[in-house]
Amino acid sequence: MAGPSSTILIVEDELAIVELVRFTLKGAGWDAHAVHTTADAWEYLQHKRPQLILLDWMLPDQSGLKLLARIRADRNFNTLPVIMLTAKGMEEDKVAGLDQGADDYITKPFSPRELTARIKALIRRKTPEHAEMAMSAGSLELDPVSCRVHVNGSQIEIGHAEFKLLKFLLAHPERVFSRAQLLDKVWGDHAVLEERTVDVHILRLRKALGTAESLIQTVRSVGYMLTEK
């Protein structure tokens, strides 16, 4: 197995998208290797380790989700960053992709700028030394080192659980998480908590955020997300 590379593997059968992605990645300084089926992607992974995989959902031989499951089940690849490319607009599908172990997803059509921003954000997130960096959204700032949260420059009072929840949402902006996912990611695998607990903490978090509460949005029948829109 080769060492870390700057190659991004594109698994996509729509040639127009492959060309757009390839052009965008090269412009941003990455090497790009494109394959059109999950079988070719798996074959590639037997010889080379990409820095990240852009994985389409609908592929000719098999669903991209199937390949994702195979990647996550393999101890050589279970930490490999994967962004799903999806034409599906349904939030439920995105949640399903995240459940299967995707690190992020991008809905087609996407702009070259959005693509490079998401890739950079994911690589940053997967690099441990950046975990202690301050995070922000709108008027809100969170400092993971001092455990302080500021809104419009003023420090707010926030409980421990709400702080953890906010930190997680800030690290994954513009993404919807189900209550079960939040319990799992924020409170840990073995949390013996009910999903309603999440609603209670979201309520407290919004109260603590005051004027910045609109950053936390409810996505009906799915869950919650942090968004600046």
CB of 56: closest distance to Ca ion in angstroms? 4
56 binds Ca ion (CB under 5 A): yes
CB of 68: closest distance to Ca ion in angstroms? 14
Contact present, 24 and 112 (Cβ < 8 Å): yes
Q: How many CA atoms lie within 13 A of 1 on its CB side?
A: 10
Options 52-60, 74-82, 194-202, 205-213: segment touching Ca ion (CB under 5 A): 52-60
162 binds Ca ion (CB under 5 A): no
Options 50-58, 100-108, 147-155, 184-192: segment touching Ca ion (CB under 5 A): 50-58
CB of 59: closest distance to Ca ion in angstroms? 6
108 vs 150 by CB, closer to Ca ion: 108
CA separation for the pair 83, 85 (Å, rounded): 7
CA separation for the pair 71, 78 (Å, rounded): 6
CA separation for the pair 224, 172 (Å, rounded): 11
64 vs 81 by CB, closer to Ca ion: 64
Element housing 105 (H / E): strand 104-107
Out of 28, 39, 58, 135, the residue judged to bind Ca ion by CB under 5 A: 58
| The pairing of beta strand 148-151 with beta strand 177-178 | unpaired
CA separation for the pair 11, 56 (Å, rounded): 6
CA separation for the pair 15, 36 (Å, rounded): 9
Contact present, 131 and 144 (Cβ < 8 Å): yes
CB of 112: closest distance to Ca ion in angstroms? 19
Options 58-66, 102-110, 172-180, 200-208: segment touching Ca ion (CB under 5 A): 58-66
Residues 101-140 that bind Ca ion (CB under 5 A): none
13 binds Ca ion (CB under 5 A): yes
Residues that bind Ca ion (CB under 5 A): 13, 56, 58
